[in-house]
Amino acid sequence: MEADIERVLIAEEVIDKRLDLLARRIEEDFPGEIIQVIILLKGALVFAADLTRRLPRMLEIECLNVSSYHGGTESSGQVDFLDHKLPDVKGRQVLVLDDILDTGRTLRAVVDRLTADGAAKVKTGVLLAKDKARAANVEADYVGFVIGDEFVVGYGLDYQGRYRNLPYVGTLAESAIDPDHRPKAQE
């Protein structure tokens, strides 16, 4: 797996330090409240596991299975909620965690949905935010790292379902990319 990585973009120890800082900021922003953490599957699993273990407080963890369609000529920008039942967020203090903010469509749709479902407060955290114009009007409250508009894997992010277990974020070598499935956006 490591042989497929062209360049380590964000090393494990750099992620560790940044997560310490994000956790402190989240602690300050949710004083004494029981946070409902909502993890967007699957990419945010690793980030959320490491971040929530830095929050020494009572919290609840839920997951949301959301699918979005990226890039390509047939892109509709539609975001589908795939779970039969969404978490009950009415009156709750919610922290949504995702691995990457790219076009912004996913995060925008999730925040809108949770707000419509009656969440009292919705804050958002992403490990990575691409430095680009967003198709949807949204920015995250907590950002680990701002990166360029390039395709990255590791620390939860995948290419064709793989590389999520790399402990760092990196770019893929050309030799690891299937010419028939070139990544367009962060899909």
Please list the residues that pair with 41 across neighbouring strands: 65
Pick 19 or 111: Cβ nearer ligand PRP: 111
Annotated catalytic residue, options 4, 98, 99, 102:
102
Active site residue 20: no
Alpha-carbon gap, residue 128 to 156, rounded angstroms: 11
- SS3 at position 139: coil
Instruction: Select the residue whose beta carbon is closest to ligand PRP and give its number.
Output: 43
Pick 4 or 99: Cβ nearer ligand PRP: 99
Query: What is the CB neighbour count within 10 angstroms for residue 62?
Result: 16
Please give the single-letter amino acid code of residue 74: E
Cβ 125 to ligand PRP, closest distance in Å?
12
- Which stretches of the chain bind ligand PRP, using CB under 6 A? 40-43, 67-68, 70, 98-106, 158, 185-187
Alpha-carbon gap, residue 3 to 19, rounded angstroms: 27
Alpha-carbon gap, residue 173 to 31, rounded angstroms: 44
How many angstroms separate the most distant Cα atoms in the chain?
51
Cβ 138 to ligand PRP, closest distance in Å?
8
Pick 41 or 55: Cβ nearer ligand PRP: 41
Cβ 110 to ligand PRP, closest distance in Å?
9
User: Which residues belong to the active site?
Assistant: 102
